[in-house]
Structure 1
Amino acid sequence: MSIIVNGDPSDAVPGTTIAELLQTLDVPTRGVAVAVDAEVVPRGEWETFAVADGARVEVLVAVQGG
């Protein structure tokens, strides 16, 4: 198995924290929300929340415009 990010398999190793995953994906730290297996993970837990093997991670980035 692997970690799925936004519907695609990722090279992330199980046990990687959300903070590490976002850094690897080069995602900005502001205007971002993360859900793991359909549960939103509060920003305060990103440094310690380890992503399990087979987890489905959704990374949402706010975009300005109309």
Structure 2
Amino acid sequence: MNLKINGRQVEVPSEVETVADLLAHLGLEKKIVVVERNQDILQKDDHQDTSVFDGDQIEIVTFVGGG
């Protein structure tokens, strides 16, 4: 499946079916992130139930602390 993630075309395995699966595939499942799918911001509780489809546009924002 081909997704556009943060402006880059990325090929992901067919096992990636939900936003939660995608975050796990990218190693971000334990990070605090905001996910936008096709210009809709998702609540964290919806990651497990929101499917991803070929051609979806995904934006993932992670938070970085510093001082």
Q: C-alpha displacement at 1:28, in angstroms?
A: 4.3
Question: 1:53 aligns to what SS in structure 2?
Answer: coil
State the match for 2:17 in structure 1.
16
Please state how far the C-alpha of 1:46 moved relative to its aligned partner: 0.6
Give TM-score, length-normalised by structure 2.
0.81
* TM-score w.r.t. length of structure 1: 0.82
Structure 1 vs Structure 2 CA RMSD:
2.1
**Structure 2 unaligned runs (5+)?**
none
- Figure out how many residues of one structure are paired with residues of the other and give that number: 66
Identical aligned pairs, as a percentage? 26
Q: Going by fraction, where is strand more abundant, 1 or 2? A: 2
